[in-house]
Structure 1
Protein backbone atom coordinates (compact mmCIF):
# COMPACT_ATOMS: atom_id res chain seq x y z
CA UNK A 1 0.00 0.00 0.00
CA UNK A 2 1.34 3.44 -0.93
CA UNK A 3 2.18 6.08 1.68
CA UNK A 4 -0.43 8.87 1.78
CA UNK A 5 0.32 12.56 1.35
CA UNK A 6 0.59 14.89 4.35
CA UNK A 7 -2.64 16.73 3.61
CA UNK A 8 -6.36 16.61 4.35
CA UNK A 9 -8.64 17.85 1.57
CA UNK A 10 -12.23 19.04 1.33
CA UNK A 11 -14.44 18.58 -1.70
CA UNK A 12 -16.92 20.69 -3.60
CA UNK A 13 -20.37 19.27 -2.92
CA UNK A 14 -22.58 16.41 -1.72
CA UNK A 15 -21.36 13.96 -4.39
CA UNK A 16 -17.83 13.07 -5.42
CA UNK A 17 -17.25 14.30 -8.99
CA UNK A 18 -15.33 12.27 -11.55
CA UNK A 19 -12.52 14.86 -11.58
CA UNK A 20 -12.27 14.82 -7.78
CA UNK A 21 -12.23 11.04 -7.72
CA UNK A 22 -9.37 10.93 -10.22
CA UNK A 23 -7.43 13.63 -8.38
CA UNK A 24 -7.80 12.00 -4.96
CA UNK A 25 -6.72 8.64 -6.39
CA UNK A 26 -3.56 10.29 -7.71
CA UNK A 27 -2.76 12.71 -4.87
CA UNK A 28 -3.68 10.20 -2.12
CA UNK A 29 -4.38 12.65 0.73
CA UNK A 30 -4.13 11.25 4.24
CA UNK A 31 -7.74 12.17 4.90
CA UNK A 32 -10.78 14.23 3.97
CA UNK A 33 -12.89 16.87 5.73
CA UNK A 34 -16.59 17.51 5.24
CA UNK A 35 -18.60 20.74 5.54
CA UNK A 36 -22.27 21.70 5.34
CA UNK A 37 -21.98 21.88 1.54
CA UNK A 38 -21.21 18.15 1.55
CA UNK A 39 -24.08 17.14 3.84
CA UNK A 40 -27.67 16.51 2.71
CA UNK A 41 -29.05 13.34 4.29
CA UNK A 42 -27.82 10.19 6.03
CA UNK A 43 -27.96 7.91 2.97
CA UNK A 44 -26.20 10.49 0.83
CA UNK A 45 -23.51 10.98 3.45
CA UNK A 46 -22.86 7.25 3.76
CA UNK A 47 -22.45 7.03 -0.02
CA UNK A 48 -20.06 9.97 0.00
CA UNK A 49 -17.80 8.68 2.77
CA UNK A 50 -17.70 5.29 1.06
CA UNK A 51 -16.81 6.89 -2.29
CA UNK A 52 -13.99 8.92 -0.73
CA UNK A 53 -12.41 5.83 0.79
CA UNK A 54 -12.90 3.89 -2.42
CA UNK A 55 -11.07 6.65 -4.33
CA UNK A 56 -7.90 6.18 -2.27
CA UNK A 57 -8.29 2.45 -1.73
CA UNK A 58 -8.07 2.47 2.08
CA UNK A 59 -9.93 3.37 5.24
CA UNK A 60 -8.84 7.00 5.12
CA UNK A 61 -9.90 9.15 8.09
CA UNK A 62 -12.88 11.38 7.35
CA UNK A 63 -13.16 14.51 9.50
CA UNK A 64 -15.91 16.98 10.31
CA UNK A 65 -16.46 19.89 12.72
CA UNK A 66 -19.41 18.70 14.79
CA UNK A 67 -19.11 20.51 18.11
CA UNK A 68 -22.82 21.29 18.27
CA UNK A 69 -24.13 24.80 18.87
CA UNK A 70 -22.41 27.41 16.72
CA UNK A 71 -20.21 24.91 14.87
CA UNK A 72 -22.14 21.97 13.44
CA UNK A 73 -22.07 20.75 9.84
CA UNK A 74 -24.79 18.12 10.37
CA UNK A 75 -28.08 19.64 11.50
CA UNK A 76 -31.80 19.01 11.95
CA UNK A 77 -33.97 17.45 10.71
CA UNK A 78 -31.63 14.50 10.22
CA UNK A 79 -29.34 15.08 13.20
CA UNK A 80 -29.59 16.46 16.72
CA UNK A 81 -29.27 20.14 17.53
CA UNK A 82 -27.28 21.02 20.64
CA UNK A 83 -27.28 23.96 23.09
CA UNK A 84 -24.36 26.37 23.07
CA UNK A 85 -21.57 24.99 25.20
CA UNK A 86 -21.01 28.17 27.24
CA UNK A 87 -24.70 28.23 28.20
CA UNK A 88 -24.72 24.56 29.15
CA UNK A 89 -21.50 24.82 31.17
CA UNK A 90 -22.62 27.97 33.02
CA UNK A 91 -25.99 26.59 34.08
CA UNK A 92 -24.92 23.45 35.93
CA UNK A 93 -22.49 22.36 38.65
CA UNK A 94 -19.25 20.94 37.31
CA UNK A 95 -20.09 17.26 37.93
CA UNK A 96 -23.32 17.61 35.94
CA UNK A 97 -21.46 19.47 33.18
CA UNK A 98 -19.01 16.59 32.86
CA UNK A 99 -21.84 14.06 32.69
CA UNK A 100 -23.62 16.16 30.08
CA UNK A 101 -20.51 16.55 27.95
CA UNK A 102 -19.92 12.81 27.99
CA UNK A 103 -23.49 12.16 26.89
CA UNK A 104 -23.40 14.88 24.23
CA UNK A 105 -20.17 13.71 22.64
CA UNK A 106 -21.11 10.06 22.85
CA UNK A 107 -24.31 10.84 20.96
CA UNK A 108 -22.38 12.92 18.44
CA UNK A 109 -19.99 10.01 17.92
CA UNK A 110 -22.97 7.70 17.41
CA UNK A 111 -24.32 9.96 14.66
CA UNK A 112 -20.94 10.36 13.00
CA UNK A 113 -20.12 6.66 12.91
CA UNK A 114 -23.53 5.91 11.40
CA UNK A 115 -22.57 7.87 8.26
CA UNK A 116 -18.93 6.78 8.01
CA UNK A 117 -17.22 9.72 9.75
CA UNK A 118 -14.51 8.71 12.22
CA UNK A 119 -12.75 11.96 13.23
CA UNK A 120 -14.35 14.98 14.92
CA UNK A 121 -12.55 18.31 15.17
CA UNK A 122 -13.46 18.67 18.85
CA UNK A 123 -13.11 19.41 21.70
CA UNK A 124 -12.02 23.03 21.63
CA UNK A 125 -10.10 23.64 24.87
CA UNK A 126 -9.10 27.26 24.36
CA UNK A 127 -9.44 29.16 27.65
CA UNK A 128 -11.72 32.08 26.80
CA UNK A 129 -10.57 35.53 27.91
CA UNK A 130 -13.06 38.34 28.62
CA UNK A 131 -12.28 40.06 25.30
CA UNK A 132 -12.15 36.89 23.19
CA UNK A 133 -13.71 37.11 19.74
CA UNK A 134 -17.14 35.43 19.48
CA UNK A 135 -15.56 32.74 17.28
CA UNK A 136 -14.08 31.46 20.57
CA UNK A 137 -16.39 32.90 23.23
CA UNK A 138 -19.51 31.35 21.70
CA UNK A 139 -17.99 27.85 21.85
CA UNK A 140 -15.72 27.85 24.89
CA UNK A 141 -15.79 25.24 27.66
CA UNK A 142 -14.85 27.87 30.21
CA UNK A 143 -12.58 30.71 31.23
CA UNK A 144 -10.28 28.80 33.61
CA UNK A 145 -7.77 26.15 32.64
CA UNK A 146 -8.75 23.53 35.22
CA UNK A 147 -12.44 23.21 34.33
CA UNK A 148 -11.65 23.49 30.61
CA UNK A 149 -9.18 20.61 30.84
CA UNK A 150 -11.64 18.40 32.75
CA UNK A 151 -14.45 19.19 30.35
CA UNK A 152 -12.24 18.67 27.32
CA UNK A 153 -11.20 15.26 28.58
CA UNK A 154 -14.82 14.22 29.19
CA UNK A 155 -15.68 15.17 25.61
CA UNK A 156 -12.60 13.59 24.05
CA UNK A 157 -12.94 10.31 25.92
CA UNK A 158 -16.62 10.04 24.98
CA UNK A 159 -15.72 10.47 21.31
CA UNK A 160 -13.05 7.78 21.58
CA UNK A 161 -15.50 5.45 23.29
CA UNK A 162 -17.87 6.02 20.38
CA UNK A 163 -15.24 5.04 17.82
CA UNK A 164 -14.40 8.60 16.74
CA UNK A 165 -10.98 10.21 17.04
CA UNK A 166 -11.03 13.65 18.70
CA UNK A 167 -8.96 16.57 17.40
CA UNK A 168 -8.09 18.85 20.33
CA UNK A 169 -7.92 22.49 19.23
CA UNK A 170 -6.42 25.12 18.90
CA UNK A 171 -2.96 24.48 20.31
CA UNK A 172 -1.11 26.23 21.98
CA UNK A 173 -4.27 28.18 22.91
CA UNK A 174 -6.53 30.56 21.01
CA UNK A 175 -8.53 32.07 23.86
CA UNK A 176 -6.74 35.42 23.72
CA UNK A 177 -7.74 35.98 20.08
CA UNK A 178 -9.66 39.22 19.67
CA UNK A 179 -9.96 38.65 15.91
CA UNK A 180 -11.42 35.80 13.91
CA UNK A 181 -8.58 33.99 12.10
CA UNK A 182 -10.93 33.31 9.19
CA UNK A 183 -10.64 37.05 8.44
CA UNK A 184 -7.46 38.39 10.08
CA UNK A 185 -4.37 37.35 12.03
CA UNK A 186 -4.78 37.52 15.84
CA UNK A 187 -1.75 38.56 17.89
CA UNK A 188 -1.08 38.33 21.62
CA UNK A 189 1.59 40.15 23.58
CA UNK A 190 1.04 38.04 26.71
CA UNK A 191 4.31 36.99 28.39
CA UNK A 192 5.27 33.36 28.47
CA UNK A 193 4.36 32.87 32.13
CA UNK A 194 0.84 34.19 31.48
CA UNK A 195 0.50 31.86 28.48
CA UNK A 196 0.99 28.88 30.78
CA UNK A 197 -2.71 29.10 31.65
CA UNK A 198 -3.49 28.78 27.93
CA UNK A 199 -1.13 25.83 27.52
CA UNK A 200 -2.47 23.92 30.54
CA UNK A 201 -5.54 22.23 28.96
CA UNK A 202 -3.44 21.04 26.02
CA UNK A 203 -0.79 19.67 28.36
CA UNK A 204 -3.54 17.85 30.27
CA UNK A 205 -4.77 16.31 27.01
CA UNK A 206 -1.35 15.58 25.49
CA UNK A 207 -2.20 11.88 25.37
CA UNK A 208 -4.91 12.46 22.76
CA UNK A 209 -4.23 11.24 19.20
CA UNK A 210 -4.59 14.54 17.31
CA UNK A 211 -4.38 18.30 17.83
CA UNK A 212 -4.99 21.30 15.56
CA UNK A 213 -2.84 24.43 15.54
CA UNK A 214 -3.96 28.02 16.17
CA UNK A 215 -3.49 30.63 13.44
CA UNK A 216 -2.19 33.23 15.88
CA UNK A 217 1.04 35.08 16.68
CA UNK A 218 2.39 34.64 20.21
CA UNK A 219 5.03 37.35 20.41
CA UNK A 220 6.61 35.81 23.51
CA UNK A 221 7.38 32.68 21.45
CA UNK A 222 7.83 33.97 17.90
CA UNK A 223 7.32 37.70 17.31
CA UNK A 224 6.79 37.38 13.56
CA UNK A 225 5.32 34.04 12.57
CA UNK A 226 1.89 32.56 13.18
CA UNK A 227 2.03 29.40 15.31
CA UNK A 228 1.03 27.18 12.38
CA UNK A 229 4.14 28.14 10.41
CA UNK A 230 6.48 28.83 13.34
CA UNK A 231 9.17 26.24 14.14
CA UNK A 232 9.51 27.84 17.59
CA UNK A 233 5.79 27.40 18.35
CA UNK A 234 5.76 23.83 17.04
CA UNK A 235 8.81 23.03 19.19
CA UNK A 236 6.97 24.44 22.22
CA UNK A 237 3.94 22.26 21.45
CA UNK A 238 6.17 19.20 21.25
CA UNK A 239 8.45 19.91 24.22
CA UNK A 240 6.82 22.28 26.70
CA UNK A 241 3.25 21.05 26.17
CA UNK A 242 4.48 17.51 25.56
CA UNK A 243 2.29 16.55 22.60
CA UNK A 244 3.69 13.77 20.40
CA UNK A 245 0.49 12.93 18.53
CA UNK A 246 -0.53 13.96 15.03
CA UNK A 247 -0.40 17.75 14.68
CA UNK A 248 -2.56 19.14 11.89
CA UNK A 249 -2.98 22.75 10.83
CA UNK A 250 -6.18 24.68 11.00
CA UNK A 251 -7.47 25.50 7.52
CA UNK A 252 -4.62 26.95 5.48
CA UNK A 253 -7.15 28.92 3.43
CA UNK A 254 -7.95 31.29 6.31
CA UNK A 255 -7.07 34.96 5.96
CA UNK A 256 -4.87 34.81 9.06
CA UNK A 257 -2.16 33.24 6.90
CA UNK A 258 -0.37 35.12 4.15
CA UNK A 259 1.16 34.16 0.84
CA UNK A 260 -0.09 31.71 -1.78
CA UNK A 261 -2.07 28.84 -0.26
CA UNK A 262 0.29 26.11 -1.56
CA UNK A 263 3.21 27.97 0.04
CA UNK A 264 1.33 28.06 3.35
CA UNK A 265 1.05 24.27 3.27
CA UNK A 266 4.76 23.89 2.58
CA UNK A 267 5.68 26.34 5.36
CA UNK A 268 3.48 24.54 7.90
CA UNK A 269 5.04 21.17 7.10
CA UNK A 270 8.53 22.69 7.20
CA UNK A 271 7.75 24.24 10.62
CA UNK A 272 6.91 20.82 12.05
CA UNK A 273 3.19 20.25 11.46
CA UNK A 274 2.51 16.68 10.38
CA UNK A 275 -0.46 17.33 8.09
CA UNK A 276 -1.85 20.42 6.33
CA UNK A 277 -5.62 21.01 6.27
CA UNK A 278 -7.12 22.48 3.06
CA UNK A 279 -10.87 22.93 3.26
CA UNK A 280 -12.42 24.87 0.38
CA UNK A 281 -12.72 22.02 -2.13
CA UNK A 282 -11.31 24.09 -5.02
CA UNK A 283 -9.83 21.46 -7.32
CA UNK A 284 -7.32 23.72 -9.05
CA UNK A 285 -5.98 24.94 -5.71
CA UNK A 286 -5.90 21.40 -4.31
CA UNK A 287 -3.69 20.34 -7.22
CA UNK A 288 -1.26 23.12 -6.32
CA UNK A 289 -1.32 22.24 -2.61
CA UNK A 290 -0.69 18.56 -3.38
CA UNK A 291 2.38 19.55 -5.38
CA UNK A 292 3.81 21.35 -2.33
CA UNK A 293 3.06 18.74 0.34
CA UNK A 294 5.23 15.63 0.77
CA UNK A 295 4.26 12.06 1.42
CA UNK A 296 4.09 11.24 5.11
CA UNK A 297 7.45 10.05 6.38
CA UNK A 298 9.51 9.73 9.55
CA UNK A 299 7.89 10.98 12.76
CA UNK A 300 4.89 12.36 10.87
CA UNK A 301 4.13 8.94 9.43
CA UNK A 302 4.64 7.33 12.85
CA UNK A 303 2.22 9.78 14.45
CA UNK A 304 -0.37 9.35 11.70
CA UNK A 305 -0.25 5.57 12.05
CA UNK A 306 -0.46 5.82 15.84
CA UNK A 307 -3.52 8.09 15.60
CA UNK A 308 -5.35 5.71 13.28
CA UNK A 309 -4.42 2.76 15.47
CA UNK A 310 -6.65 4.30 18.15
CA UNK A 311 -9.76 3.94 16.00
CA UNK A 312 -11.97 1.27 17.52
CA UNK A 313 -15.43 -0.16 17.27
CA UNK A 314 -17.89 1.79 19.43
CA UNK A 315 -18.56 0.45 22.90
CA UNK A 316 -22.12 -0.76 23.62
CA UNK A 317 -24.43 2.22 23.85
CA UNK A 318 -28.13 3.05 24.24
CA UNK A 319 -28.74 6.35 22.40
CA UNK A 320 -32.35 6.65 23.59
CA UNK A 321 -31.30 6.47 27.23
CA UNK A 322 -28.45 8.91 26.60
CA UNK A 323 -30.92 11.29 24.95
CA UNK A 324 -33.21 11.14 27.97
CA UNK A 325 -30.38 11.76 30.41
CA UNK A 326 -29.00 14.68 28.40
CA UNK A 327 -32.45 16.25 28.05
CA UNK A 328 -32.89 16.09 31.82
CA UNK A 329 -29.55 17.82 32.39
CA UNK A 330 -30.37 20.45 29.80
CA UNK A 331 -33.47 21.62 31.63
CA UNK A 332 -33.38 25.13 33.04
CA UNK A 333 -32.16 24.03 36.45
CA UNK A 334 -28.94 23.83 38.40
CA UNK A 335 -29.92 21.44 41.17
CA UNK A 336 -29.08 18.12 39.44
Structure 2
Protein backbone atom coordinates (compact mmCIF):
# COMPACT_ATOMS: atom_id res chain seq x y z
CA UNK A 1 0.00 0.00 0.00
CA UNK A 2 1.31 3.47 -0.84
CA UNK A 3 2.11 5.72 2.11
CA UNK A 4 1.02 9.00 0.52
CA UNK A 5 -2.46 10.46 0.99
CA UNK A 6 -5.71 10.08 -0.89
CA UNK A 7 -8.96 11.94 -0.47
CA UNK A 8 -12.20 10.05 0.08
CA UNK A 9 -15.90 10.87 -0.24
CA UNK A 10 -18.75 8.87 1.26
CA UNK A 11 -22.03 10.03 -0.28
CA UNK A 12 -25.38 8.84 1.04
CA UNK A 13 -28.91 10.00 1.50
CA UNK A 14 -28.29 11.64 4.87
CA UNK A 15 -24.66 12.75 4.85
CA UNK A 16 -21.76 13.65 2.60
CA UNK A 17 -18.52 12.87 4.41
CA UNK A 18 -14.99 13.53 3.25
CA UNK A 19 -11.55 12.66 4.55
CA UNK A 20 -7.84 12.66 3.84
CA UNK A 21 -6.62 9.13 4.45
CA UNK A 22 -3.05 7.87 4.73
CA UNK A 23 -1.56 4.54 3.70
CA UNK A 24 -2.27 3.04 7.12
CA UNK A 25 -5.99 3.74 6.81
CA UNK A 26 -5.91 6.61 9.29
CA UNK A 27 -8.29 9.51 8.70
CA UNK A 28 -5.99 12.53 9.01
CA UNK A 29 -8.75 15.08 8.27
CA UNK A 30 -12.50 14.47 8.36
CA UNK A 31 -15.40 16.76 7.37
CA UNK A 32 -19.12 16.25 6.88
CA UNK A 33 -22.23 18.00 5.57
CA UNK A 34 -25.87 16.91 5.55
CA UNK A 35 -27.10 15.72 2.17
CA UNK A 36 -29.78 18.04 0.76
CA UNK A 37 -31.32 14.92 -0.72
CA UNK A 38 -34.67 16.49 -1.66
CA UNK A 39 -33.12 19.51 -3.39
CA UNK A 40 -32.11 19.94 -7.01
CA UNK A 41 -28.98 18.34 -8.43
CA UNK A 42 -26.80 21.45 -8.22
CA UNK A 43 -27.67 22.02 -4.57
CA UNK A 44 -26.52 18.48 -3.80
CA UNK A 45 -23.34 19.05 -5.77
CA UNK A 46 -22.76 22.30 -3.90
CA UNK A 47 -22.68 20.31 -0.64
CA UNK A 48 -20.09 17.97 -2.16
CA UNK A 49 -18.07 21.02 -3.28
CA UNK A 50 -18.17 22.41 0.27
CA UNK A 51 -16.71 19.18 1.62
CA UNK A 52 -13.99 19.20 -1.05
CA UNK A 53 -13.20 22.86 -0.36
CA UNK A 54 -12.73 22.19 3.34
CA UNK A 55 -10.49 19.20 2.61
CA UNK A 56 -8.41 21.19 0.13
CA UNK A 57 -7.88 23.91 2.74
CA UNK A 58 -5.86 21.44 4.82
CA UNK A 59 -2.07 21.80 4.69
CA UNK A 60 -1.99 18.07 3.88
CA UNK A 61 -3.88 18.52 0.62
CA UNK A 62 -0.69 18.94 -1.40
CA UNK A 63 0.17 15.29 -0.69
CA UNK A 64 -3.11 13.95 -2.11
CA UNK A 65 -2.53 11.82 -5.21
CA UNK A 66 -6.04 10.48 -5.94
CA UNK A 67 -9.63 10.56 -4.74
CA UNK A 68 -12.01 7.70 -4.07
CA UNK A 69 -15.80 7.99 -3.97
CA UNK A 70 -18.15 5.51 -2.35
CA UNK A 71 -21.67 6.52 -3.34
CA UNK A 72 -25.13 5.22 -2.73
CA UNK A 73 -26.18 3.48 -5.90
CA UNK A 74 -26.65 2.46 -8.46
CA UNK A 75 -23.47 3.89 -9.88
CA UNK A 76 -21.89 3.55 -13.31
CA UNK A 77 -18.17 3.56 -12.75
CA UNK A 78 -17.39 3.29 -16.46
CA UNK A 79 -19.40 6.42 -17.24
CA UNK A 80 -18.53 8.15 -13.97
CA UNK A 81 -22.19 8.73 -13.15
CA UNK A 82 -24.41 8.07 -10.13
CA UNK A 83 -28.15 7.60 -9.71
CA UNK A 84 -28.69 7.13 -5.97
CA UNK A 85 -32.17 5.89 -5.12
CA UNK A 86 -32.19 8.15 -2.06
CA UNK A 87 -31.06 11.30 -3.93
CA UNK A 88 -33.82 11.71 -6.54
CA UNK A 89 -32.30 14.71 -8.32
CA UNK A 90 -29.17 12.78 -9.25
CA UNK A 91 -29.98 10.59 -12.23
CA UNK A 92 -26.96 9.75 -14.38
CA UNK A 93 -25.28 12.66 -12.62
CA UNK A 94 -21.68 13.11 -13.88
CA UNK A 95 -20.13 13.00 -10.42
CA UNK A 96 -16.63 11.89 -11.42
CA UNK A 97 -16.30 14.67 -13.98
CA UNK A 98 -17.54 17.29 -11.52
CA UNK A 99 -15.30 16.10 -8.68
CA UNK A 100 -12.28 15.88 -10.97
CA UNK A 101 -12.90 19.46 -12.09
CA UNK A 102 -13.30 20.65 -8.50
CA UNK A 103 -10.00 19.06 -7.46
CA UNK A 104 -7.80 20.24 -10.29
CA UNK A 105 -7.84 17.01 -12.26
CA UNK A 106 -7.08 14.42 -9.58
CA UNK A 107 -7.59 10.79 -10.63
CA UNK A 108 -11.00 9.72 -9.31
CA UNK A 109 -12.16 6.16 -8.54
CA UNK A 110 -15.92 5.59 -8.16
CA UNK A 111 -17.53 2.56 -6.49
CA UNK A 112 -20.89 1.94 -4.89
CA UNK A 113 -21.10 2.20 -1.12
CA UNK A 114 -21.31 -1.58 -0.62
CA UNK A 115 -18.08 -2.08 -2.56
CA UNK A 116 -16.44 0.66 -0.48
CA UNK A 117 -17.39 -1.10 2.74
CA UNK A 118 -16.01 -4.38 1.36
CA UNK A 119 -12.75 -2.59 0.61
CA UNK A 120 -12.60 -1.22 4.15
CA UNK A 121 -13.30 -4.53 5.85
CA UNK A 122 -10.75 -6.30 3.67
CA UNK A 123 -8.06 -3.68 4.24
CA UNK A 124 -8.48 -3.03 7.96
CA UNK A 125 -11.42 -5.05 9.30
CA UNK A 126 -13.04 -8.43 9.72
CA UNK A 127 -12.18 -9.69 6.22
CA UNK A 128 -8.48 -8.88 6.57
CA UNK A 129 -6.41 -11.90 5.57
CA UNK A 130 -9.24 -13.43 3.52
CA UNK A 131 -8.70 -13.57 -0.21
CA UNK A 132 -12.36 -14.24 -1.03
CA UNK A 133 -15.03 -12.40 0.92
CA UNK A 134 -18.49 -10.91 0.74
CA UNK A 135 -18.99 -7.83 2.90
CA UNK A 136 -22.54 -6.65 3.50
CA UNK A 137 -24.45 -3.75 4.97
CA UNK A 138 -27.86 -4.65 6.40
CA UNK A 139 -29.62 -1.45 7.33
CA UNK A 140 -32.35 0.60 5.62
CA UNK A 141 -31.33 -1.39 2.56
CA UNK A 142 -29.08 -4.37 1.95
CA UNK A 143 -25.91 -3.85 -0.04
CA UNK A 144 -22.58 -5.56 -0.45
CA UNK A 145 -19.26 -5.88 -2.18
CA UNK A 146 -16.84 -8.65 -3.11
CA UNK A 147 -13.16 -9.38 -2.63
CA UNK A 148 -11.99 -12.11 -5.01
CA UNK A 149 -8.49 -13.47 -5.38
CA UNK A 150 -7.24 -11.02 -2.77
CA UNK A 151 -8.42 -7.93 -4.64
CA UNK A 152 -11.50 -5.76 -4.56
CA UNK A 153 -13.93 -6.79 -7.31
CA UNK A 154 -16.18 -3.82 -8.09
CA UNK A 155 -17.25 -5.16 -11.49
CA UNK A 156 -17.45 -3.16 -14.74
CA UNK A 157 -20.05 -0.71 -13.39
CA UNK A 158 -18.85 -0.60 -9.78
CA UNK A 159 -21.89 -2.45 -8.38
CA UNK A 160 -20.68 -6.07 -8.09
CA UNK A 161 -21.79 -7.86 -4.93
CA UNK A 162 -25.15 -6.11 -4.64
CA UNK A 163 -26.63 -9.05 -2.75
CA UNK A 164 -29.70 -7.15 -1.59
CA UNK A 165 -31.33 -7.71 -4.96
CA UNK A 166 -30.80 -11.43 -5.28
CA UNK A 167 -34.25 -13.02 -5.30
CA UNK A 168 -34.60 -15.65 -2.58
CA UNK A 169 -38.41 -16.01 -2.70
CA UNK A 170 -39.67 -16.47 -6.25
CA UNK A 171 -43.28 -15.68 -5.30
CA UNK A 172 -42.37 -13.12 -2.65
CA UNK A 173 -43.42 -9.52 -2.21
CA UNK A 174 -42.64 -7.07 -5.02
CA UNK A 175 -39.42 -5.16 -4.39
CA UNK A 176 -39.03 -1.49 -5.35
CA UNK A 177 -36.28 -2.60 -7.73
CA UNK A 178 -38.92 -4.34 -9.85
CA UNK A 179 -38.17 -7.96 -8.90
CA UNK A 180 -39.85 -10.17 -6.30
CA UNK A 181 -38.64 -11.69 -3.06
CA UNK A 182 -35.31 -9.87 -2.91
CA UNK A 183 -33.06 -10.27 0.12
CA UNK A 184 -33.57 -6.58 0.86
CA UNK A 185 -37.36 -6.92 0.80
CA UNK A 186 -37.10 -9.46 3.63
CA UNK A 187 -33.96 -8.66 5.61
CA UNK A 188 -33.63 -4.86 5.68
CA UNK A 189 -34.47 -3.05 8.90
CA UNK A 190 -37.75 -1.53 7.71
CA UNK A 191 -38.90 -4.87 6.32
CA UNK A 192 -38.04 -6.75 9.52
CA UNK A 193 -40.20 -4.23 11.38
CA UNK A 194 -42.94 -4.39 8.75
CA UNK A 195 -43.16 -8.16 8.96
CA UNK A 196 -43.27 -8.08 12.75
CA UNK A 197 -46.08 -5.51 12.76
CA UNK A 198 -48.06 -7.40 10.13
CA UNK A 199 -47.72 -10.56 12.23
CA UNK A 200 -49.12 -8.93 15.35
CA UNK A 201 -46.10 -7.54 17.17
CA UNK A 202 -46.93 -4.41 19.17
CA UNK A 203 -44.40 -1.67 19.93
CA UNK A 204 -43.80 -0.69 23.54
CA UNK A 205 -45.16 2.41 25.28
CA UNK A 206 -42.63 4.63 23.51
CA UNK A 207 -44.12 3.66 20.15
CA UNK A 208 -40.75 2.65 18.71
CA UNK A 209 -41.51 0.39 15.74
CA UNK A 210 -38.01 0.13 14.27
CA UNK A 211 -35.99 -3.02 13.69
CA UNK A 212 -33.96 -2.12 16.79
CA UNK A 213 -37.15 -2.27 18.86
CA UNK A 214 -38.06 -5.60 17.25
CA UNK A 215 -34.58 -6.86 18.15
CA UNK A 216 -35.05 -5.80 21.76
CA UNK A 217 -38.39 -7.63 21.85
CA UNK A 218 -36.78 -10.73 20.31
CA UNK A 219 -34.05 -10.59 22.94
CA UNK A 220 -36.80 -10.58 25.58
CA UNK A 221 -38.37 -13.66 24.01
CA UNK A 222 -41.28 -12.21 22.02
CA UNK A 223 -42.08 -15.04 19.55
CA UNK A 224 -43.32 -12.75 16.76
CA UNK A 225 -40.16 -10.61 16.96
CA UNK A 226 -38.00 -13.74 17.03
CA UNK A 227 -39.79 -15.07 13.94
CA UNK A 228 -39.24 -11.82 12.04
CA UNK A 229 -35.50 -11.97 12.66
CA UNK A 230 -35.40 -15.66 11.81
CA UNK A 231 -37.07 -14.91 8.48
CA UNK A 232 -34.53 -12.16 7.79
CA UNK A 233 -31.68 -14.49 8.74
CA UNK A 234 -33.01 -17.15 6.39
CA UNK A 235 -33.10 -14.68 3.49
CA UNK A 236 -29.57 -13.51 4.23
CA UNK A 237 -28.34 -17.10 4.49
CA UNK A 238 -29.89 -18.01 1.14
CA UNK A 239 -28.26 -15.00 -0.55
CA UNK A 240 -24.88 -15.60 1.08
CA UNK A 241 -24.91 -19.30 0.21
CA UNK A 242 -25.81 -18.53 -3.40
CA UNK A 243 -22.93 -16.06 -3.60
CA UNK A 244 -20.51 -18.53 -2.02
CA UNK A 245 -21.56 -21.25 -4.41
CA UNK A 246 -21.05 -18.95 -7.40
CA UNK A 247 -17.68 -17.37 -6.54
CA UNK A 248 -16.31 -19.44 -3.61
CA UNK A 249 -16.08 -16.87 -0.85
CA UNK A 250 -14.94 -18.17 2.54
CA UNK A 251 -16.27 -15.39 4.80
CA UNK A 252 -19.30 -13.13 4.86
CA UNK A 253 -18.91 -9.97 6.93
CA UNK A 254 -22.09 -8.21 7.97
CA UNK A 255 -22.39 -4.64 9.21
CA UNK A 256 -25.04 -1.96 9.36
CA UNK A 257 -27.73 -1.16 11.89
CA UNK A 258 -29.48 -4.53 11.70
CA UNK A 259 -26.21 -6.31 12.49
CA UNK A 260 -26.29 -4.40 15.77
CA UNK A 261 -28.94 -6.87 16.88
CA UNK A 262 -26.06 -9.25 17.59
CA UNK A 263 -26.93 -12.87 18.24
CA UNK A 264 -30.63 -12.16 17.65
CA UNK A 265 -29.56 -12.05 13.98
CA UNK A 266 -26.31 -14.00 13.89
CA UNK A 267 -27.46 -17.14 15.72
CA UNK A 268 -30.35 -17.93 13.32
CA UNK A 269 -28.18 -16.79 10.39
CA UNK A 270 -25.46 -19.33 11.19
CA UNK A 271 -28.10 -22.01 11.67
CA UNK A 272 -29.79 -21.22 8.35
CA UNK A 273 -26.46 -21.06 6.56
CA UNK A 274 -25.76 -24.67 7.51
CA UNK A 275 -28.96 -25.61 5.68
CA UNK A 276 -28.19 -23.59 2.54
CA UNK A 277 -24.40 -23.84 2.17
CA UNK A 278 -24.35 -27.60 1.69
CA UNK A 279 -21.83 -28.29 -1.07
CA UNK A 280 -18.42 -29.41 0.11
CA UNK A 281 -16.57 -26.30 -1.08
CA UNK A 282 -18.82 -23.90 0.84
CA UNK A 283 -19.38 -25.81 4.07
CA UNK A 284 -16.54 -23.99 5.84
CA UNK A 285 -18.03 -20.59 5.06
CA UNK A 286 -18.03 -18.36 8.14
CA UNK A 287 -20.02 -15.28 9.10
CA UNK A 288 -18.60 -12.42 11.16
CA UNK A 289 -19.78 -8.98 12.26
CA UNK A 290 -18.16 -5.97 10.61
CA UNK A 291 -15.76 -3.95 12.74
CA UNK A 292 -15.07 -0.75 10.79
CA UNK A 293 -18.04 1.24 12.06
CA UNK A 294 -19.28 4.59 10.76
CA UNK A 295 -16.12 5.49 8.85
CA UNK A 296 -16.10 2.29 6.78
CA UNK A 297 -17.35 4.14 3.68
CA UNK A 298 -14.51 6.66 3.84
CA UNK A 299 -11.82 4.08 4.55
CA UNK A 300 -13.18 1.90 1.75
CA UNK A 301 -13.33 4.75 -0.76
CA UNK A 302 -9.72 5.51 0.11
CA UNK A 303 -8.79 1.82 -0.30
CA UNK A 304 -10.40 1.82 -3.75
CA UNK A 305 -8.39 4.91 -4.69
CA UNK A 306 -5.14 3.38 -3.43
CA UNK A 307 -5.87 0.14 -5.32
CA UNK A 308 -6.53 2.04 -8.53
CA UNK A 309 -3.24 3.93 -8.16
CA UNK A 310 -1.31 0.73 -7.50
CA UNK A 311 -2.92 -0.91 -10.54
CA UNK A 312 -2.10 2.14 -12.67
CA UNK A 313 1.52 1.93 -11.53
CA UNK A 314 1.64 -1.75 -12.52
CA UNK A 315 2.25 -2.97 -8.97
CA UNK A 316 0.54 -5.70 -6.99
CA UNK A 317 -3.06 -4.92 -5.96
CA UNK A 318 -3.86 -4.14 -2.33
What TM-score do the two structures reach when normalised by structure 2? 0.33
User: Going by fraction, where is strand more abundant, 1 or 2?
Assistant: 2
TM-score (norm 1): 0.31
